[in-house]
Amino acid sequence: MELAEQAIVRRTRIRIGLLVGVTIGALLLLAGSISYAALIRSQEAQIQRELEWGTRHGTIAGPPACSWIFQYDGTTVDTGTNPPPPGFPLGDALDAVAATRATQITTVARNGTIYHVRTEARDAHVIQAVFDARFQLSDRRHLLLAFSLAAAVGLLAAMLTGVLVGRRAVAPLAEALTRQRRFVADASHELQTPIAQVHTRAQLIARRARTFGTATDLDELERLIGTTRRLGEIVDDLLLSAQLAAAPAGRPPNPPVDLTTLIATTVAAEAERAAERQVSLTVDTPGGPVPVPGVESALRRVVGELLANALTHTPAGGRIDVNLRTMDNCAELLIADTGEGFDQADAERIFDRFHRGKGSGDRRFGLGLALLREVVTSHHGTIEAEGHPERGARFTVCLPTTRSLITPGSVSRLERLRWRQLGAGRVLTARKPARTRSTQR
């Protein structure tokens, strides 16, 4: 499976697992909150009933457990035989009720606990009932502790369940992606031969038409040849994409590819086309070989596609510079043109599949640059695009010269800046003088 598809499957599995875990966690939190709220409400109601009974029917001599009852006749306070806790009774509350005859209910946090106090007028006296809620607070703490343990166990079970559900839920997606990739590879492979046969026969018929046919027949045959050529390009792109994704990770390493020779042959193949379009094409490479591990046909596709893309978007009188250099265990290829360019905001979007930029015409199908990224990524390299409208575009490809992975940060920023100045039309001397240079106009 392709690395991008593996990342999609992995992200989907993680999201499903998180969703299951969050759902179960939310349910546990909701159940615990409801239980805790119900306990507090029940305790508060029970405490108020105790206080109300104490002020209306209780006596100083025999208050309920955890309670105290005080009686105030306007001058003195009778606390009974049971010693009150420090700070009680509340004298201000007794005086206020004695004056207004209005019941007061309050709570006091003191002595490491919470006291609920009810002060109420009864006959000629004022009665104050105090309830110590330390046991109720202890029950709440025990409930929270039990809930925390249950929540921890529940979240662990939720995570395990999420992982299991995620794997089972994503398995069909992974299988579907694999089957899709296999179908594309099989279909592309089977279509190659008949498309090539149709293209060859169309060329033979067109050759005969040039001698015996009419101009109308010849135009139609040329259109047929162009259509079959474009159809073959699509099939080749799809097959290459499928082969890149299906390549086994443990296959024997390929022999190193000499980028210097590969670039020279690719540029020579495009020289005639560049001359027809009146585009200046220059090549600057090191004198010696620049070997990189990889697949020669795939890397040739990278150079050829970037060069063809530059020719497509460069008008007559323009210039294309192809430069190769090595630095920090990395071979860096830069292809810069003076064509129509593109908005820098689209620098990532142009690598999307089926994205067709301005001026692409019928020839392009939006697969080329997307496949280039797949090829470069499969070689543990990077590809970057930089452009400005009507001021040209620059594509930079970094490939490791060893089998170690490279990242965009493996090339120093200063070296990148010096190297990219070539694309801005400035002459910059590389570390080694160029020994291979060809110019076509």
Distance CA(222)–CA(225), nearest Å, equals 5
* Domain assignment present for 434: yes
Please say which residue of 138, 168, 201 terminates a domain: 138
* Domain assignment present for 124: yes
Write down the pLDDT at residue 106. Answer: 92
Please, what is the angle between helix 368-378 and helix 215-246, to 10°? 30
* Domain assignment present for 312: yes
DSSP 422: G
Nearest partner of 350 among 395, 298, 308, judged by Cα:
395
**End-to-end Cα spacing for the chain:** 44
Please say which residue of 94, 116, 138 terminates a domain: 138
- Tens place of pLDDT per residue across the chain (441 aa): 455 566 777 777 777 777 777 787 788 888 888 988 999 999 999 999 888 888 888 788 778 778 899 999 888 888 887 888 888 999 899 999 988 989 999 999 988 899 999 999 988 889 999 999 999 999 989 988 988 888 888 778 777 777 777 677 667 766 776 766 666 666 666 666 677 777 777 777 777 777 766 666 677 777 777 677 767 766 666 666 665 555 544 445 567 889 999 999 888 888 888 888 899 999 998 878 889 988 787 788 888 889 988 888 899 999 999 999 988 788 999 999 998 888 887 777 777 765 555 544 444 434 567 778 878 887 888 988 888 888 889 999 999 987 544 343 433 333 343 333 333 333 332 333 333 333 333
Q: Can you give the residue range of the structural domain that contains 330?
A: 257-440
Asked if 384 contacts 395 with a C-beta cutoff of 8 angstroms, the reply is yes
Asked if 279 contacts 314 with a C-beta cutoff of 8 angstroms, the reply is yes
For residue 41, what is the domain's CATH number? 3.30.450
Phi (first) and psi of residue 305, to 5 degrees:
-70, -40
Q: Left, alpha or beta for 294 (phi > 0: left; psi -120 to 50: alpha)?
A: left
For residue 337, what is the domain's CATH number? 3.30.565.10
Distance CA(93)–CA(115), nearest Å, equals 14
| Cβ neighbours of residue 177 closer than 8 Å, sequence gap 6 or more | 1, 5, 8, 9
Write down the pLDDT at residue 319. Answer: 92
Asked if residue 273 and residue 124 are part of one domain, the reply reads no
Please say which residue of 103, 138, 173 terminates a domain: 138
* Domain assignment present for 41: yes
* Domain total in the chain: 2
Asked if residue 425 and residue 280 are part of one domain, the reply reads yes
Alpha-helical runs (H) found in 313-432:
368-378, 413-420
Asked if omega into 400 is within 30° of 0 (cis), the reply is: no
pTM of the model: 0.45
Nearest partner of 198 among 221, 219, 215, 218, judged by Cα:
221
| Cβ neighbours of residue 291 closer than 8 Å, sequence gap 6 or more | 256, 257, 258, 259, 401
* Domain assignment present for 25: yes
Write down the pLDDT at residue 42. Answer: 92
* Domain assignment present for 70: yes
Distance CA(327)–CA(321), nearest Å, equals 19
* Domain assignment present for 45: yes
Place of tokens 């179908």: 183
Asked if 396 contacts 386 with a C-beta cutoff of 8 angstroms, the reply is yes
* Domain assignment present for 166: no
Write down the pLDDT at residue 414. Answer: 33
Asked if residue 424 and residue 291 are part of one domain, the reply reads yes
Asked if residue 129 and residue 263 are part of one domain, the reply reads no
DSSP 358: T
Nearest partner of 67 among 131, 154, 133, 139, judged by Cα:
131
